Structure 1
């Protein structure tokens, strides 16, 4: 019986969430199905682009977080009576 792989399976393969046995079958499916291979290559490129995204908070946000942290007062919990 031939297993039909979906785009979801390809994404799982891309993120190493498949077993060794699934890997072999998916690689074979990629070699035989141009649409699946094109999806894999597009997804691989998107993954690489997303990995290059760097998010840096603005100075304003950093200062607000630091200010909040410096002014935060810890209140002691009330002792529970038994």
Structure 2
């Protein structure tokens, strides 16, 4: 019986969330299905672009976080005893 793979399966493969058996079957399906291979290559490109995104908070945001955290005691809570 031939397994039909979906785009969701390809995404799982892309993020290494598939088993070794599934990997082999998905690679075979990619070789036989041009649409699936095209989706895989597009997804691989998108994943690569997303990995390059760097978000840096503004100085104002960092300042507000520090100010908020300074409201709390630096003492650690006492251990619970039973």
The answer, yes or no, to whether TM exceeds 0.5 is: yes
| Number of aligned positions between the proteins | 75
Return the offset for 1:73: 4.8
User: Whole-Å Cα distance in 2 between the matches of residues 9 and 43 of structure 1?
Assistant: 12
| 1:35-70 deviation per Cα after TM superposition (whole angstroms, max 9, x unaligned) | 000000000000011011001000000001111111
Query: In structure 1, what is the Cα distance between the partners aligned to 2:29 and 2:62?
Result: 48
SS at 2:70's partner residue? helix
Match of 1:11 in 2: 11
- Deviations 1:2-52 (Å, cap 9, x if unpaired)? 000000000000000000000000000000000000000000000011011
Alignment correspondent of 1:79:
none
Secondary structure, counterpart of 1:18 in structure 2: coil
Once residues 55 and 27 of structure 2 are traced to their aligned partners in structure 1, the CA distance between those partners, rounded to angstroms, is 34
What TM-score does the superposition give when structure 2 sets the normalisation length? 0.86
Which structure would you say has the larger Rg? Answer: 1
**Displaced runs of 4 or more, over 6 A:** none
Give me the whole-angstrom Cα distance separating, in 2, the residues matched to 1:63 and 1:40: 42
